[in-house]
Amino acid sequence: MAHPADKALESLARGTLTTAQSLRLQTHIFHCPECLQRLVRAEVLLMLEEAVLEPRHLPRPDRRRPLFIRHDTADGFIYSRVKKRGKKWLVVHWGEQLDGQWECSTMREANEHAMAAFAQMFPEHRCTERCCLNPPAPE
């Protein structure tokens, strides 16, 4: 197979090829370091273009309220909630394979901890329209 055109690599990065086209292209890229580098460049440019032209859906928490957020991850929905417990604030994270909590002194500290802990647990996560603030209660 000849080296694919830049348009074909961009289509692969966008996920718009048919399965057969994608498999053919991936087979070539597996054996061609030059085309792999071209694909990586195409994906980076696409990511930058999307960030500028089509910003991803990012829930914007209200800093004056305790955080309650749902993220749609590869591991399923992950919930993070900040709630008052006595004189302290509790950060609770839960999901199908996750159940943890952390105690903080202030609501602000708890909100920041909730966001930072989620980012550390799921560094690859990018919010979509299925991520939201104050989601309906999980069943």
pLDDT, one tens digit per residue, over 64-104 is: 899 999 999 988 999 999 999 999 999 999 999 999 999 99
Cross-strand bridge partners of residue 77: 72
Same-domain status, 73 and 49:
no
Residue 62 lies in a domain: no
Residue 60 lies in a domain: no
Same-domain status, 35 and 82:
no
Residue 128 lies in a domain: yes
Number of domains in the chain: 2
Residue 92 lies in a domain: yes
Q: Given this model, what pLDDT does residue 65 score?
A: 94
pLDDT, tens digit, for every residue of 45-55? 877 776 555 45
Residue 83 lies in a domain: yes
Range of the domain at 101: 68-133
Same-domain status, 44 and 75:
no
At 97, which amino acid appears?
Answer: Q
Q: Given this model, what pLDDT does residue 93 score?
A: 96
- Cα–Cα nearest to 113, from 81, 137, 70: 81
Q: Given this model, what pLDDT does residue 117 score?
A: 94
Residue 61 lies in a domain: no
Q: Please provide residue 39's backbone torsions phi and psi, each rounded to the nearest 5 degrees.
A: -65, -45
User: Is the pLDDT assigned to residue 56 strictly greater than 90?
Assistant: no
Q: Per 3-state DSSP, what percentage of the chain is helix, strand, and coil (rounded to 5)?
A: 40, 25, 35
